[in-house]
Amino acid sequence: MKEVELDCLGEACPVPLVKAEKKLKELEIGDVLIVQIDHSCAMKNVPEWARKEGHNVEIEEVDDGEWEVIIEKVK
Amino acid sequence: MEIKKNKYYKLWLKDAWPYLTGAVLLSLFQIVTLAVTGNPWGVSGILANWGAWLWEAVGGSVDKWYYFASEGAQKTLNGGFLNHGGSLRNLGIIVGALTATLLASGFKIKKIKSWRQIAAAVLGGLLMGYGARIGFGCNIGALFSGIASLSLSGWVYAVFLFLGAIVGSKLLVKYFM
């Protein structure tokens, strides 16, 4: 089980979502992907996509306008 | 009690509203706009005026430009920013968006990551601006207001907007990521 950080700071939609989808595909089940985001629109579509795919998702507000979406790959 | 933990602060100001809420509010306000001003809601046409004012501010003139040739357009330009309802509305959109961001304490000045990002933004902006003027409307004036007034052109716009978005996304992934 490893933890991978994905830096999407400064990236606008739909780049964070596309990057997260790509990265998660490379990971094994049980791995955790931490997507760093500072674009509020990506804060809506990245967690939405990950939850719909059935992964465990947690959101942490790191700073003003900066979040980490923590995705645990479950399948 | 700390405001950050308040249920209603979270619900109304902090978290994003559902798409449905946004859709209903946008519809209501565009009806009000049409009823009060007699014109459908538009955004990008007003930006053309802003461009003309900027050009005039640095000593240029748009008197001879075909786009601004009509009497109405000249009257709007001569009337200035504060007498132009659409300009104030656009300003309201910017101030409102900033206020919402500040109230959610989500304001952040973002880093520019690469020259590619700048190139993509400039290229995208130019294409959108040019397309919106040559097509007599952007996704608000031509699409949203078009469909709201039962115009076929709005639906045609929607189909090609979708096709354009598919092509644009492919290009974005291929050249700018």
Q: How many CB atoms lie within 10 A of CB B24?
A: 11
Q: Which pLDDT tens digit goes with each residue over B6-53?
A: 999 999 999 889 999 999 999 999 999 999 999 999 999 999 999 999
Quick one: DSSP state of residue B14? I
**A4, A11, A13, A34: which one is catalytic?**
A13
Note the ipTM here: 0.82
Please give the backbone phi and psi of residue B172, each rounded to the nearest 5 degrees, phi first: -60, -50
Inter-chain CB proximity A14 and B172 less than 8 Å = yes
Does A10 sit within 8 Å of B110, measured CB to CB?
Answer: yes
* Closest C-alpha to B56, from B65, B70, B9: B65
Q: Which residues pair with A72 in a beta bridge?
A: A32, A56
Percentage of chain B lying above the pLDDT 90 cut? 86
Q: Under an 8 A CB cutoff, do A38 and B105 touch?
A: no
Q: How many CB atoms lie within 10 A of CB B167?
A: 9
- pLDDT at position A11: 92
Per-residue pLDDT, B12: 94
A7-44 pLDDT per residue, tens = 999 998 889 999 999 999 999 999 999 999 999 889 98
Q: What pLDDT score was predicted for residue B1?
A: 67
pLDDT in tens, B95-127: 999 999 999 999 999 989 889 989 989 999 999
According to the model, what pLDDT value does residue B113 have?
87
A13 is catalytic: yes
- Tell me how crowded residue B31 is: count the other CB atoms within 10 A of its CB: 13
DSSP state of B68: G
Query: Could you read off the pLDDT of B135-156 as tens digits, one per residue?
Result: 999 999 999 999 999 999 999 9
